Amino acid sequence: MNQLDLQKKIAVITGGAQGIGFSTAKRMIDSGAQVAIWDRDAAQLDIALKELGTAAWGTSVDIADNDSVLKATAATQAHFGRIDILVNNAAIVGPNAPMWEYPINSFIDVMNIGVNGTFLVTRAVIPLMIAAGYGRVVNVASIAGKEGNPNASAYSAAKAAVISLTKSLGKELADKNIAVNCVTPAIAKTKLAMEQDPKHIAYILGKIPRGRMLELNEASAMICWLCTEENSFTTGAVFDLSGGRATY
């Protein structure tokens, strides 16, 4: 594993108690960063913090609730003094169903966490980065946001929105030392991904030319590099993690 320079950097990772978020937290800590894990699953958060060790700190937060986000932001700033890096990773997948049969409340939940939550967290953290004159933001989207997966309209729409939010914010902050980019993973073997209908999993796996799922460490490698000072020019960009599936 190559060594990245994240010495003395402070990172916030939403949904960081498991999956891609947890893998990213581990790699950041190995590269010298301190990490704040924001996760609504308090039990899983405790497990993750014990494994990550003293360089990690965490708080239970519902990113779809602005008051919860503001409290988490203030608590993180009080604990670490600043926030240099933000990884918007938290999302839910939702059920698999045709759009005309998709449960209304499930659609709203997927959008609230994946889109509204990303907006609320970013809205709270960016002013701190502007004041400090430095920041790196990586939004975890999905290849579904580029292509649209059948029977996953909510998730596809949410991730498409995350891609567009990334491009808008990247342009808004282009005159500052704050880079905003996103990644578009194919399916990885995470708890949430594997809760989907097995037929749907087989369908999206069959779309990947590499012929396998994304490994968590492959995702965290790209995310972490985007969070370094070396990524000093690229912003508002989409970095592919689809194993060759992406056509643009």
Which amino acids are annotated catalytic?
155
DSSP of 128-185:
HHHHHT-EEEEEE--HHHHH--TTBHHHHHHHHHHHHHHHHHHHHTTTTTEEEEEEEE
Q: Is 220 exposed, middle or buried (0-12, 13-18, 19+ CB in 10 A)?
A: buried
Q: Residue 241's CB: how many other CB atoms inside 10 A?
A: 23
| DSSP-derived secondary structure letter, 215 | P
Here the tokens at position 22 are 């947890």
Q: Which residue's entry shows tokens 């070396």?
A: 230
HSE (side-chain half, CA atoms, 13 Å) at 174: 10
Please list the residues that pair with 180 across neighbouring strands. 137
Structure tokens at 109: 């939940």
Enclosing H/E stretch for 39: strand 34-39
DSSP letter string, 91-139 = ------B-GGGS-HHHHHHHHIIIIIHHHHHHHHHHHHHHHHT-EEEEE
CA distance 75 to 23: 23
